[in-house]
Structure 1
Amino acid sequence: MKSKLYILLGILFLLLIFKLGNWGLTESSEARYAEIAREMVVSGDYINPTLLGIKHLHKPPVTYYLTALGYKIFGINEFGARFFMQLALVLQLVLVFKITLQLFKSEKIALAALLIYFSFPITIIAVRTLTTDAYLTTFILASIYFWLQYKSNLKPYNLYLFYFFLALIFETKGPVGFMIPVTFVVTHKILNKEKIEFNMHQYLGFILFLFVSSAWYIIVMYKNDGLFDYFINNQLVERVTKNNFKRGKPFWYYLFLMPLIGMPWLFYFVFYFKKNIKNIIQHKKTDFLLIITFLTLFILLSISTSKLILYVLPLYFILAIFSARYLSLCSEKTIKKISNLYFILIIIVTSGFFIASFLNLELKINRIYAFIILVVFSVFGAISNNKIVNTNFIKPAFLGALFIISIIISSNYIFSKNELKINSVKPLAEFIKNDSQSENEVLIYNYLLPSLSFYLNKNITTINHGKYTTTREVQFETTDVWKKNLINYFDPNERERLLKISNSKPTYLIKRKKDVFPDTLKVLVKTLNRKKNFDKFEVYY
Structure 2
Amino acid sequence: MRLKLSVKSAVEQWFNNLEKRPALAVTVSVLWLSLIGWVAFGWNLGSIGLIDETEPLFAEASRQMFVTGDWVTPFFNGETRFDKPVLIYWCQAIAYAIIGVNEWAVRLPSAIAAMGVISLAFYTIQWCLAKQDQLEKVSRPARRYLTAFMAAAIIALNPEMIIWGRTGVSDMLLTGCMASALLCFFLGYAGKGGTGELGAPSGDKGQWGLGTGKLGTGGLGIRKEFSQSRSEITSLIPNKWYLACYVLIAAAILAKGPVGIVLPGLIIVAFLLYLGKLREVLREMRLLVGILIIFGLSAPWYALVTWRNGWGYINSFFGYHNLERFTGVVNHHSAPWYFYFLVVLLGFAPYSVYLPIAIVRLKFWQRSHWRLQERSEQLGLFAWFWFAGIFGFFSIAVTKLPSYVLPLMPAAAILVALLWSEFFLDPKTKQILLSPSSTPPFPYSSFLRVSGWVNVAFLSFLAVGMFNLSQLLGRDPAIPNFRILIQKSGLPVTGGVIWLVCAVLVAVLLLNRRWNYIININLLGFVAFLIVVLTPAMFFIDRERQLPLRELSVMALQAKQPDEELVMMGFKKPSVAFYSQTQVNYLRFPQEVVQHIQNEAAKTPQPPSLLLLAEQKKFLKMDLQPDDYKNLATKGAYNLIRVPFKKRKSEKMDISFDVH
How far apart are residue 499 of structure 1 and its match? 6.6
CA distance in 2, matches of 1:267, 1:282: 29
CA distance in 1, matches of 2:537, 2:608: 37
Q: Is this contact kept in 2: 1:25–1:451, CA < 8 A?
A: yes
- Tell me the secondary structure at the aligned position of residue 219 of structure 1: helix
Is 1:41 paired with 2:97?
A: no
Is 1:309 paired with 2:402?
A: yes
How far apart are residue 258 of structure 1 and its match? 1.9
**Aligned residue for 2:440?**
none
CA distance in 1, matches of 2:452, 2:628: 67
CA distance in 1, matches of 2:641, 2:315: 42
How far apart are residue 397 of structure 1 and its match? 4.5
CA distance in 1, matches of 2:451, 2:364: 26
| Equivalent position amino acid for 1:38 in 2 | R
Instruction: Write the deviation string for residues 391-423 of structure 1: whole angstroms up to 9, x where unpaired.
Output: 794x55454444333344343333234325455
**Aligned residue for 1:246?**
332
CA distance in 2, matches of 1:261, 1:319: 11
How far apart are residue 37 of structure 1 and its match? 0.7
Match of 1:224 among 304, 309, 316: 309
How far apart are residue 70 of structure 1 and its match? 1.6
**Aligned residue for 2:386?**
293
| Equivalent position amino acid for 2:348 in 1 | G
Is 1:125 paired with 2:163?
A: yes
| Equivalent position amino acid for 1:418 in 2 | I
**Aligned residue for 1:3?**
27
Report the CA distance shift for 1:523/1:437 in structure 2 as closer, same or farther (over 3 A): closer
How far apart are residue 2 of structure 1 and its match? 3.0
| Equivalent position amino acid for 2:551 in 1 | P
Match of 1:321 among 398, 408, 414: 414
**Aligned residue for 2:358?**
272
- Tell me the secondary structure at the aligned position of residue 566 of structure 2: strand
| Equivalent position amino acid for 1:209 in 2 | I
How far apart are residue 335 of structure 1 and its match? 13
Q: Is this contact kept in 1: 2:88–2:109, CA < 8 A?
A: no
Q: Is this contact kept in 1: 2:384–2:415, CA < 8 A?
A: no
How far apart are residue 52 of structure 1 and its match? 0.6
CA distance in 2, matches of 1:464, 1:12: 43
Match of 2:276 among 168, 171, 193: 193
Report the CA distance shift for 1:99/1:509 in structure 2 as closer, same or farther (over 3 A): same
CA distance in 2, matches of 1:217, 1:73: 26
CA distance in 2, matches of 1:97, 1:362: 41
**Aligned residue for 2:585?**
461
Is 1:148 paired with 2:272?
A: no
**Aligned residue for 1:484?**
none
Report the CA distance shift for 1:40/1:399 in structure 2 as closer, same or farther (over 3 A): farther
**Aligned residue for 2:375?**
none
Instruction: Write the deviation string for residues 220-273 of structure 1: whole angstroms up to 9, x where unpaired.
Output: 111112133433322221122233323222322212222122222111011334
**Aligned residue for 2:568?**
444
Q: Is this contact kept in 2: 1:269–1:319, CA < 8 A?
A: yes
| Equivalent position amino acid for 2:611 in 1 | Y
How far apart are residue 188 of structure 1 and its match? 2.6
Q: 1 or 2 for the larger relative contact order (CA 8 Å, sep ≥6)? A: 1
How far apart are residue 110 of structure 1 and its match? 2.8
Q: Is this contact kept in 2: 1:364–1:417, CA < 8 A?
A: no
- Tell me the secondary structure at the aligned position of residue 510 of structure 1: strand
CA distance in 2, matches of 1:419, 1:188: 44
| Equivalent position amino acid for 2:47 in 1 | N
Instruction: Write the deviation string for residues 29-70 of structure 1: whole angstroms up to 9, x where unpaired.
Output: 111111111111111111110001111122111111111122
CA distance in 2, matches of 1:115, 1:4: 14
Instruction: Write the deviation string for residues 154-178 of structure 1: whole angstroms up to 9, x where unpaired.
Output: 2223222111111111101001233
CA distance in 2, matches of 1:320, 1:47: 37
How far apart are residue 200 of structure 1 and its match? 9.6
- Tell me the secondary structure at the aligned position of residue 332 of structure 2: coil
CA distance in 1, matches of 2:254, 2:362: 40
- Tell me the secondary structure at the aligned position of residue 462 of structure 1: strand
Cα RMSD (Å) of the superposition?
4.6
Q: Is this contact kept in 1: 2:37–2:156, CA < 8 A?
A: no
CA distance in 1, matches of 2:50, 2:297: 31
Q: Is this contact kept in 1: 2:568–2:587, CA < 8 A?
A: yes
CA distance in 2, matches of 1:453, 1:181: 36
How far apart are residue 20 of structure 1 and its match? 1.9
Q: Is this contact kept in 2: 1:98–1:145, CA < 8 A?
A: no
Q: Is this contact kept in 1: 2:109–2:168, CA < 8 A?
A: no
Q: Is this contact kept in 1: 2:616–2:639, CA < 8 A?
A: yes
Match of 1:100 among 118, 121, 125: 125
**Aligned residue for 2:82?**
57
**Aligned residue for 2:47?**
22
Q: Is this contact kept in 2: 1:269–1:323, CA < 8 A?
A: yes
Report the CA distance shift for 1:150/1:257 in structure 2 as closer, same or farther (over 3 A): closer
Q: Is this contact kept in 2: 1:13–1:87, CA < 8 A?
A: no
- Tell me the secondary structure at the aligned position of residue 612 of structure 2: strand
**Aligned residue for 2:369?**
283
Instruction: Write the deviation string for residues 65-91 of structure 1: whole angstroms up to 9, x where unpaired.
Output: 111122112111111111222222111
Q: TM-score normalized by structure 2? A: 0.66
CA distance in 1, matches of 2:411, 2:166: 22
Match of 1:507 among 607, 610, 614: 610
How far apart are residue 98 of structure 1 and its match? 3.2
Report the CA distance shift for 1:318/1:526 in structure 2 as closer, same or farther (over 3 A): farther
- Tell me the secondary structure at the aligned position of residue 614 of structure 2: strand
Pairs within 5 Å for 1:104-503: 105=132, 106-153=144-191, 154=194, 155=196, 156-196=239-279, 197-198=282-283, 201-226=286-311, 227-273=313-359, 277=363, 283-284=369-370, 286=378, 287-329=380-422, 361-363=484-486, 393=516, 395-409=517-531, 410-419=533-542, 421-423=544-546, 425-432=549-556, 436=559, 441-445=565-569, 447-463=571-587, 489=592, 496-497=599-600
CA distance in 1, matches of 2:597, 2:289: 55
| Equivalent position amino acid for 1:404 in 2 | F
| Equivalent position amino acid for 2:263 in 1 | I
Q: Is this contact kept in 2: 1:119–1:400, CA < 8 A?
A: no
Instruction: Write the deviation string for residues 295-344 of structure 1: whole angstroms up to 9, x where unpaired.
Output: 23222212212221111111112211221122234569979979x969x8
**Aligned residue for 2:226?**
none
**Identity fraction in percent:** 19
| Equivalent position amino acid for 2:614 in 1 | K
**Aligned residue for 1:481?**
none
CA distance in 2, matches of 1:8, 1:274: 30
**Aligned residue for 2:655?**
none
| Equivalent position amino acid for 1:509 in 2 | L
Q: TM-score normalized by structure 1? A: 0.79
Which of the pair has more CA radius of gyration? 2
Report the CA distance shift for 1:405/1:460 in structure 2 as closer, same or farther (over 3 A): same
